[in-house]
């Protein structure tokens, strides 16, 4: 069974989710969560992205891990992706990999209307002595009027001990959205 009380979802195994922080975008340059990582208490972290809407049409959503300083992590980000088009006549699905420097690319070509917003669940693993990584599962409508299911997996090349994250558009601001970080208790 499960007990929901005071922002804690506790399972019979003793683990659970603890709400650590929430941010709401309002024509924001970035959404940043700094110094929320406490690996003595949490095994991993979940980020919920709700109704992410961009100001500029067809721009990229990018992501970076952050240090405790706090500062963005300058490193290579390796990404594997899979896109499933779910509207009739949508064309081919896509998959591939890419390497970017100083950030990971989450998604490009999102429209700037509320009805086409991105919503996603992101699993974050940020060990003190291992490489930071994240797994994105989400859905949105792209600029070609096609509904997409997206999956992204990212890992840094060499940086360990990440303590925060940042989401930002490659151009323009984030019009709106709600972003919540949970710790997954050990």
Whether the per-residue pLDDT at 98 is higher than 50: the answer is yes
What confidence category does residue 42 fall into, taking pLDDT thresholds of 50, 70 and 90?
very high
Give the confidence band of 14 by pLDDT, cuts at 50, 70, 90: low
Q: What is the pLDDT confidence band of residue 10, given thresholds at 50, 70 and 90?
A: very low
- Supply the pLDDT for residue 56: 81
Instruction: Render the burial of 82-101: b for 16+ CB within 10 Å, e for the rest.
Output: ebebeeeebeeeeeeeeebe
Residue 13 has pLDDT above 70, yes or no: no
- CA 168, CA 181: separation in Å to the nearest integer? 16
As a whole number of Å, the end-to-end CA separation of the chain is 17
- What 8-state DSSP symbol labels residue 67? -
Neighbours of 60 (CB within 10 A): 18
- pLDDT of residue 186 exceeding 90, the answer is yes
More confident residue, 145 or 137: 137
């Amino acid at each position: 069974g499960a007990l929901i009380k005071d922002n804690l979802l506790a399972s019979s195994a003793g683990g659970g989710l603890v709400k650590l922080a929430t941010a709401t975008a309002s024509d924001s340059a970035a959404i940043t969560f700094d110094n929320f990582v406490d690996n003595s208490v949490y095994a991993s972290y979940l980020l919920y992205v709700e109704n992410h809407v961009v100001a500029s049409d067809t721009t990229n959503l990018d992501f970076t891990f952050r240090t405790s300083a706090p500062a963005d992590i300058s490193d290579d980000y390796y990404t594997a992706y899979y896109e499933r088009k779910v509207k009739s006549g949508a064309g081919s699905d896509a998959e591939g990999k890419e390497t970017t420097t100083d950030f990971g690319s989450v998604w490009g070509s999102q429209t700037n209307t509320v009805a086409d917003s991105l919503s996603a669940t992101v699993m974050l693993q940020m060990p003190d002595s291992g490489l930071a990584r994240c797994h994105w599962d989400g859905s949105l409508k792209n600029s070609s009027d096609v509904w997409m299911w997206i999956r992204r997996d990212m890992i840094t090349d060499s940086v360990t001990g990440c303590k925060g994250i940042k989401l930002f558009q490659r151009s323009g601001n984030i019009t709106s959205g709600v972003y919540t970080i949970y710790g997954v208790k050990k």
